[in-house]
Amino acid sequence: MCAVHAARPASTDFGGAAIDGNGGERTEKANGNRGRGGRVIERERNIWLRLIHSARRSTLDWHSPSDRCDVRTSATGTRGNDLPALRTKPRPAPPSGLARFMHCIRVHQSASSTEEPAGGSHKKDHDRYPVFSVEFARVETPFIIGLWIFCASLAKIGFHMTPKLSKMFPESCLLIVVGVVIGVLLFHTSSGVQVSPLTPDTFFLYLLPPIILDAGYFMPNRLFFDHLGTILLFAVVGTIFNAIAIGTSLWAVGQSGLFEFDTPILDMMLFGSLVSAVDPVAVLAVFEEIHVNEILYIVVFGESLLNDAVTVVLYHMFEAYSEMGPANILPVDVASGIASFFVVALGGTVIGVIWGFLTGFVTRFTHQVRVIEPIFIFVMAYLAYLNAEIFHMSGILAITFCGITMKNYVEANISHKSHTTVKYAMKMLSSSCETVIFMFLGVATVNNAHSWNTWFVLLTVLFCTVYRFIGVMILASLANKFRLHQLNGVEKFVMSYGGLRGAVAFALVLLIDKNIVNLQPHFVTTTIAVIYFTVFFQGITIKPLVRILNVKRAEKRKPTMNERIHEKLMDHIMAGLEDVLGRHGNYHVRDRFKRFDTKYIRPWLIRDNKGAEPKILETYSKLTMKEAMEYMRRNASTIAAFPGTESMSTLFRNCTQTNMDARWGSGVRKAQNDDPLFAALAQDSFSFTQLDSSVQNLDMQELEYNPSKKDLTDAKIHHLLSEELCKPRRHRRLSYSRHAVNDRDLSTQEVNYKMHMNMRHIISGKHHHKRSKKLNKEGKPHVSFPGITQNGSVKQFTHDYINEMLEESDSNDVDEARPSTSGLNDGPEGGIVFTAKSTPTNTDEAVVHTEDPHPKDPGKRSSRADSEEEAVHVTPTATETVLPWKRDDEAEQCTFPLKQQEFPGWCSNKEYLAYNSPSSTFLGGLDQPKVASVIGLFRRESTVDQEMARADAAILVIEECPASPVPSAVVCGTPPAPPKRPSSARRGSLLELGASVDPIPEEEAGTPESSANKSPPWAQRRRRKQGACSSSYEDFRSNEVGLLVTCGGPVGRVGGCVVGRGGAALSARAASSESELARDRVSRSVSASAATGNKKRRCRSSSSDAAAAASDRDKETQIGEEQDAGGQRGCHASAQWGSS
């Protein structure tokens, strides 16, 4: 006996104590406590007793019908005085078998007691220390609860193991079935189970809140508030309509005597009110599976959430009325009932919102103790729920709005890990609660207290369905009058069909006092029937119906950056338009709230406020993160998929030892001195060389580098890692603390923007390739590399840099050696070199203009170069044939005639042009005035700005004029202006000027010449480039080491990468210096033809990685500069803004 009581949950104890204090449940009832809690207590205690009893019976297999009976009667009979004596001393209990057994297994507990029950026959054992003792009673309740959850979850797993079942039936149905099965088992093992463990209190206090919190917290706020009007209409008016219609209809039918029992109107209304409410749990369970479009979902689900207030009020109102009796109801009662609706609904909402804000405020300070962040969210939401229940307000509304309110602020405060924790914990709690609820519902079905009345059940089901349909149709057409999105017929149908009843109704019907409402057993049975009908019939058929009716399905996706930004823009537009129209619609209200929120609320609740549009930033960081993750994943698989392909080490395999010694011996030796790793590498590669020398070319000049996919991905990963992972920003904790989570690197807010650029840069390789193909098809001049088919995109990408590097050294060499031929140079420096010659003519300029079909291509830099290029193709001289940068193209493309192949690949590489050019950073970017071009443009109509614009334009023109004594220089400066907007430059548009401000390499061709800089620009560039090269080499090495250190796991692989890439860096460095030597030699040896072509390519490839590194570096600096420029522009813009 005492064991049984001790095992009761605390809440029940509390309730029991309250009852005792009041001298019994009737007194308590008379006190007029209308709460859910008080009234149920007696029933609930019974239930717990029975449940535990039955569970024990089944667990311990203790068969003694008389004992069972004994315990039950005593449990109910001695309820009044058993609690105070609960644990202090064993109360003299009737000597029942069960009690005896319990004493038997709890010997050591009763050892201290002096008084033994009358039938205690085990006294002699009590002072001996037991070797082994069983004490089930102490853990009984939690054990059984755990067992239930375990079973339910197990059942859930079971369904998903059988895809056939889970495809056909909604989960809720299957869970109910399992519950019924368990219920039958329990029923037959112990006939005492009358009602299942699903008591109203367990349901309302423990099972429901997690589900509703989950719903509120992950509620799509925007959608919810957009459709709030419709939702409220359905939730309030619809529910009231349904309740009254069902109640009166049943009453009317009852008057005809069909039911064979009396149907008082108030009882029927009470029943109608509880059975009319659409259940959030059931709706969630079904609608999450059918994936209807979001508007449909939010309307039905929102209705099911918000109708709680109505249900609660109606239920309590009619309950109180039926207690009073129809005769005693005064109009004031009706009025107070209506008033109480507002109190319950608004009170619940306000409580929820307050707790939501409080949660946001609390999480503002949790950044030192990240681990406890999630608990605040759960506990404070739960407190909101209980708080509302204290005042008999709608707890569901409270916890829903608490979730809705806290979400935005909490999410900004908590760490990424906490966010994940919250998300998963919430989903886990809600889904297990849902499981348990449905299962308990099934168990509850099996009892012998049913009072089935076929007509009553049938008519209730019928009325529920019919009135649901009628209500939805009427209200939807009413709502359509005020809605932008019109609910069409199919949607109306799904809305009415989705009106499922569930456990809320069941819990409410259990709350009805049998002594006041005599029909309660009927109600229980009928409610169960209605629930079964809706959950089974409608739940199963709604899926095929949705498919048949072709309801718009929801697509689960994350918004792209564009969508996010453009949608925000549209919001602003719409808000602005509503203002113009003078209407205070949705957008206006949202706009206003947002402003208020940003200005007053967010600063208080959010630790580091991110400005007006946190969503944009959020989307951005999410996308960037996702991209990076995906990239890593993809590459990991790529690496795994190509284990046998050649890597960077093939580069070394292809090198002869002699060449290495001769060419970059010094470099290697230096590297060896620097780093033992490289020493090992060098040794390794030497041995390789000897091994493969028979197969591979012996001559360094014949070296052909075939970057495999793996190499390229290696390189990419390296860049990624070097950006993201290898930065020495590890934070060493000085003191150990047990609960500390070091999430320095977890926060989503902090995005490595450089990494993003890198990602983009890498990914852009693909696009670039496609583009180039397309251009070729269109007949636009473009240099293609037909020889390269496999992963050509990236190859071209690397090629660009190689090309550029080579051209650099080319121009240097050639210029020094043979300045007369420098005009032939077709590298990026062509224009520059050409102007150094400064012998252009006006005809040349004309040529450029006429035969430039690709005007955006800045590669058209110098007219002279063009014409000479043409000449080259007509009659290639010996020198020209020898020139490696010439012959390279020819060697690869001689199969078919190509027009204007003088443009290297990078010319059409837009990515490269816009951002990656190293030269624009220093030469183009720095010495240009940074003008706020865009804003000026945007407000072009304002005369002040226009004047300013003109002034700017004038300045620029003046700058350009003296620097362009020759017409070609002007030509060089103008190509960036595309013909699509031909007037842009002429009309003094600021954007054009802004373009020249921007370090787009378009003026890379133009500005060096036009600037009055007398020192040869290519020399500067070259110097800088070499610096970048070597420094990037340093970078490489340090990064590799870091990589090796950080990724301790797959040392072999990473180490391999390190070796390979380190080698590449090394070789690249060497190659960059070597290319000069090589070219010198080449220029001397006229006879070499094909070999030199190869050699050229080899040089390129070997320097590819270094070039890529260099370009990365350049890009970084360039980005920095761009940002600088942007900053200045922004300042300028704001200044203009202020002045206007």
| Interacting span for other proteins (CB under 8 A) from 117-125, 136-144, 689-697, 762-770 | 762-770
Out of 670, 760, 849, 1053, point to the residue binding other proteins (CB under 8 A).
760
Q: Which of 501, 588, 1024, 1069 binds other proteins (CB under 8 A)?
A: 588
- To other proteins, the closest distance from the beta carbon of 149 in angstroms equals 40
User: What are the angstrom distances between the C-alpha of 231 and each of 208, 305, 483?
Assistant: 21, 9, 12
Q: Is residue 570 within 8 Å of 563, Cβ to Cβ? A: no
The tokens describing 1041, both together, are 């080491």
Rounded to the nearest whole angstrom, what is the least distance from the CB of residue 510 to other proteins in the complex?
43
Residue with tokens 């709690």: 429
Between 608 and 661, CB nearer to other proteins? 608
Provide the 3-class DSSP secondary structure of residue 160. Answer: helix
Question: Residue 228, interface with other proteins (CB under 8 A)?
Answer: no
Q: How far is the CB of 428 from other proteins (least distance, A)?
A: 31
Q: Cα-flanking dihedrals φ and ψ of residue 15, to 5°?
A: -65, -40
Of the pair 23, 489, the CB lying nearest other proteins is at: 489
Complex with other proteins: residue 24 or 614, whichever CB lies closer: 614
Give dist(CA 213, CA 191) in Å, integer. 37
Does 1130 bind other proteins (CB under 8 A)? Our answer is yes
CB nearer other proteins, residue 108 or residue 568: 568
Stretch that binds other proteins, among 733-741, 752-760, 965-973, 1102-1110 (CB under 8 A): 752-760
Shortest Cβ 258–other proteins spacing (Å): 47
- For 910, the 3-state DSSP assignment is helix
* Segment near other proteins (CB under 8 A); pick from 21-29, 72-80, 269-277, 756-764: 756-764
Cα distances from 78 to residues 6, 94, 113, 491, 709, in angstroms, run 15, 11, 21, 56, 81
Give the shortest CB-479-to-other proteins separation in angstroms.
12
Site for other proteins in 1086-1125 (CB under 8 A): 1119, 1122-1123
**CA nearest 1065: which of 670, 505, 558, 504?**
670
Exactly one of 939, 1038, 1053, 1056 binds other proteins (CB under 8 A); that residue is: 939
Is 490 a residue that touches other proteins (CB under 8 A)?
Answer: no
- Only segment of 383-391, 461-469, 735-743, 751-759 that touches other proteins (CB under 8 A): 751-759
The site for other proteins, by CB under 8 A, has a size of 80
Q: Per-residue contact track with other proteins, 547 to 586, x per CB under 8 A?
A: --------x-x--xxxx-xxxxxxxxxxxxxxxxxxx-x-
Looking at the Cβ atoms of 576 and 965, the one nearer to other proteins is 576
Q: What are phi and psi of 1086, to 5 degrees?
A: -75, -30
Token pair, residue 967, equals: 């017409």
Residues in 677-716 at the binding interface with other proteins, rule: CB under 8 A: none
Does 85 interact with other proteins (rule: CB under 8 A)? no
Output the smallest distance, CB 843 to other proteins, in A: 31
Across 446-574, the runs of DSSP E, i.e. the strands, are none
Q: Which of residues 976-1005 bind other proteins (CB under 8 A)?
A: 980-981, 984, 989, 991, 994, 998
3-state secondary structure of 553: strand
Give the footprint of other proteins on residues 417-436 (CB under 8 A). Answer: none
Q: Which is nearer to other proteins, 581 or 1051 (CB)?
A: 581
Q: Which stretch binds other proteins (CB under 8 A): 481-489, 723-731, 857-865, 1071-1079?
A: 481-489
1019: left (phi over 0), alpha (psi -120 to 50) or beta: alpha
Span 237-276, contacts to other proteins by CB under 8 A: none
CA 400 – CA 209 distance, rounded (Å): 9
**For residues 295 and 233, is the Cβ–Cβ distance under 8 A?**
no
Q: What is the 3-state secondary structure (H, E, C) of 818-885?
A: CHHHHHHCCCCCHHHHHHHHCCCCHHHHHHHHHCCCCCCCCCCCCHHHHHHHHHHHHCCCHHHHHCHH
**Residue 1010 interacts with other proteins (CB under 8 A): yes or no:** no
Query: Are 426 and 213 in contact, with CB atoms under 8 Å apart?
Result: yes
With a CB cutoff of 8 Å and minimum separation 6, the contacts of 838 are: 966
Which residues in 885-914 contact other proteins (CB under 8 A)? 910-911, 914
The token duo for 648 is: 């960077």
Taking residue 944's Cβ as centre, other Cβ atoms within 10 Å add up to 12
Select 482 or 896, whichever has its Cβ closest to other proteins. Answer: 482
Half-sphere exposure of 654 (CA within 13 A, CB side): 22
Given 118, 157, 331, 482, the residue binding other proteins (CB under 8 A): 482
Which 598-657 positions form the footprint of other proteins (CB under 8 A)?
609-613, 616-617, 620, 623-624
- 516, 938, 1013, 1091: which one binds other proteins (CB under 8 A): 938
Site for other proteins in 381-400 (CB under 8 A): none
Residue closer to other proteins by CB (options 505, 628) is: 628
Q: Is residue 764 at the binding interface for other proteins, with CB under 8 A as the rule?
A: yes
Would you say 586 or 635 has its CB closer to other proteins? 586
In this structure, are residues 967 and 845 in contact, taking their beta carbons and an 8 Å threshold?
Answer: yes
Instruction: Retrieve residue 927's tokens.
Output: 């010495």
Nearest-Å Rg of the Cα atoms of the chain is 40
Q: How far is the CB of 492 from other proteins (least distance, A)?
A: 17
Residue 795 beta carbon to other proteins: minimum distance, rounded to whole angstroms: 18
Separation of alpha carbons 274 and 315, rounded Å: 6
- 267 or 857: CB nearest other proteins: 857
Using rule CB under 8 A, residue 935 touches other proteins: yes
**Nearer Cβ to other proteins, position 260 or 941?**
941
- The amino acid sitting at 707 is P
Distance CA 427, CA 530 (A): 28
Q: Which residues lie closer than 8 Å to 804 by C-beta, 6 or more apart?
A: 827, 828, 904, 906, 918, 1107
Counting beta carbons within 10 angstroms of the beta carbon of residue 758, is it exposed (0 to 12), middle (13 to 18) or buried (19 or more)? buried
Spatial contact of 999 and 920, defined as CB atoms under 8 Å apart: yes
Residue 292 DSSP SS3: strand
The smaller minimum CB distance to other proteins, of residues 475 and 648, is found at 475
Least distance in angstroms from the C-beta of 563 to other proteins = 6
Contact indicator for 821, 866 with CB cutoff of 8 Å? no
The answer to whether residue 1129 forms part of the interface with other proteins (CB under 8 A) is: yes
Helix (H) or strand (E) holding 524: helix 520-532
Instruction: Pick the piece of the chain touching other proteins (CB under 8 A) from 311-319, 738-746, 765-773, 776-784.
Output: 765-773
Q: Work out whether 1135 is an interface residue with other proteins (CB under 8 A).
A: no
* Cβ closest to other proteins, residue 17 vs residue 623: 623
Q: Which of 87, 160, 595, 1023 lies at the binding interface for other proteins (CB under 8 A)? A: 595
Helices (H), 364-483: 373-390, 395-413, 416-445, 454-480
Q: How far is the CB of 501 from other proteins (least distance, A)?
A: 32
DSSP-assigned beta bridge partners for residue 553? 292
Least separation in angstroms between residue 1071's CB and other proteins is: 30
Stretch that binds other proteins, among 47-55, 727-735, 929-937, 948-956 (CB under 8 A): 929-937
As beta bridge partners, residue 292 has 553
Residue 888 CB, shortest distance to other proteins, in Å, is 25
Q: Nearer Cβ to other proteins, position 610 or 709?
A: 610
Phi first, then psi, for residue 234 (nearest 5°) are -65, -40
Q: Which of 425, 545, 937, 970 binds other proteins (CB under 8 A)?
A: 937
Residues 839-868 binding other proteins (CB under 8 A) are 856
